[in-house]
Structure 1
Amino acid sequence: MRADVDLVVPVKSLDRAKTRLEAGTGRRALALAFALDLVGVARRVARSVLVVTADPVVAGELAVAGVETVVGPEGLNPALRFGASVLRGRDPRSVVGALQADLPALREVELRAAVVEAGGERAFCADRQATGTTLLLSAAGRDLAPAFGGPSAAAHRDGGARELLGDWPTLRCDVDTLEDLALAAGYGLGARSAQAWARVRVAG
């Protein structure tokens, strides 16, 4: 059963994605795999998922899977506000969420638990460093008000969002470096991410 929440997933252009991964790691393929696996999990939890991306490769891959995509403005927060406005236009009373695309080990049970724990209130889940944000949920019918970038956990907390403190390691395990990816692999990667990671390890 899907939760009564609509999620926006922002996906950067693959040329600009995961730039902190080392050269030669196939970062474009990794970023695409992360997004595809993440969206697959999100679709099993949320009522609807909207991906905001300007990358035609990402949009094409997601279209094959039946995922709706839109081209939004530049910048993470403007893209999230745009996606949230599209979803809110369809249901003004809905809970809208922003879910980061770089969670390749995300487990359905953890995402579902976080949505349930939020209980229709504005809430967020911090990353494993407790500085960034991996999931932000609006209150029902209220603005998402994303403040991603830098110490976004503090920004969302200061903005009135309740911090979700559940034991959800895969929801907190965003990937920016190869060390992050190795940690995520320990939890178990999604199928596409596992394939991309295996190619990186063979090449290394």
Structure 2
Amino acid sequence: MTSIDRATVDLIVPVKPLTKAKSRLRGAADGGVGEPRAHARLAMALLRDTVDAVRAAHAVRRLLVVSSDPVVAAELGVFGIEVTPDGPVPGLNQAYERGAAVLREQDPAAAVGALQADLPALRPEELDEAVGAALALFAAGARRAFVPDAEGTGTTFLLAAPGTALDPRFGPGSAREHERSGAHPLGGSWPGLRRDVDTAADLREATAMGVGKHTSCALALIPGC
């Protein structure tokens, strides 16, 4: 095996302030009412299930959440999850760049990845397989790889080889933008990794796949939560 096969993988997950996150899901947790606390609880639940899957994955050494929301920092901190605040420039790609800078400063030899925060149906083995597929491409000479979302237009996961800039291009049409920038699309099925949740329809699809315990509780799918 080459050194790239054994690359240490660190991931970044950015989180908006809970009051602003997932605006198109407002009302999904309380029958359309859109009560702020219920919505914030759902946004936090999506994050917690994503984080739980990352922490259970064997291929990921370190997880860094980028968020300036004190509730996010406090709740995740209880479980030993590292949170760093956003930098001076707002935005999703800026948050990823901020996280990549922190991780690379501490270990320049790591492979650094960007993962969306709204993957409640993610399975740890899916993430392990995606990381393995990316590392195999890196061993063959590629420097960046990504996983398109379920629709094929967005991106849920981006990984950069050691010594390579992450160069995140998340936003509308990000799959095309990442491929144009030289990142290689990964072709595994990985339904939970591809199903990010922006709308009520996305949430229904993820729920049908089987979401984690936090999202289930937020949606009252588990009695007594």
TM range (shorter): over 0.9
Query: Structure 1 residues 3 and 172 mapped into 2: Cα distance closer, same or farther (>3 Å)?
Result: farther
* TM-score, L = length of structure 1: 0.93
Q: Deviations over 1:109-134 (max 9, x none)?
A: 10110000001441000000101100
Q: Aligned pair 1:77/2:93, yes or no?
A: yes
- Structure 2 equivalent of residue 151 of structure 1: 173
Cα–Cα, structure 1 residues 184 and 3, in superposed 2: closer, same or farther, change >3 Å? farther
Deviation at 1:27, TM superposition (A): 2.2
Structure 2 residue 185 is the aligned partner of structure 1 residue 173: no
Change (3 A) 1:189 1:3: farther
Gaps spanning 5+ residues in structure 2: where? 1-5, 28-32
Provide Cα deviations, 1:58-80, integer angstroms capped at 9, x if missing partner. Answer: 11110001000000131101111
Q: CA offsets, 1:26-76, max 9 Å, x none? A: 321111001111111112221000000011111111000100000013110
Aligned AA (2:193):
L
Amino acid at match of 2:175: A
Q: Percent identity at matched positions?
A: 51
CA distance in 2, matches of 1:27, 1:179: 16
> How big is the alpha-carbon RMSD for the aligned residues of Structure 1 and Structure 2?
1.6
Asked if the contact 1:93–1:142 (Cα under 8 Å) also holds between the matched residues in 2, the reply is no
Counterpart in the other structure of 1:107? 123
1:8 aligns with 2:12: yes
Q: Which has the larger radius of gyration?
A: 2
Q: Deviations over 1:1-41 (max 9, x none)?
A: x9820000001100111100143253211110011111111
Query: Which secondary structure does the structure 2 equivalent of 1:104 belong to?
Result: coil
* Corresponding residue number in structure 2 for 1:55: 69
Q: Are the equivalent residues in 2 in contact too, given 1:124–1:164 (CA < 8 A)? A: yes
Aligned partner letter, 2:109 = R
Give the alignment of 1:99-138 within 5 angstroms: 99-119=115-135, 120=138, 121-138=143-160
Whole-angstrom distance in 2 between the partners of 1:3 and 1:49? 15
The equivalent of 1:32 in structure 2 is 44
State the AA in 2 paired with 1:4: T
Alignment: residue pair count: 199
1:117-166 Cα deviation digits (max 9, x unpaired): 00144100000010110000002221100000110000000000000010
Distance 1:22 1:146 in 2: 27
- Alignment match, 2:3: none
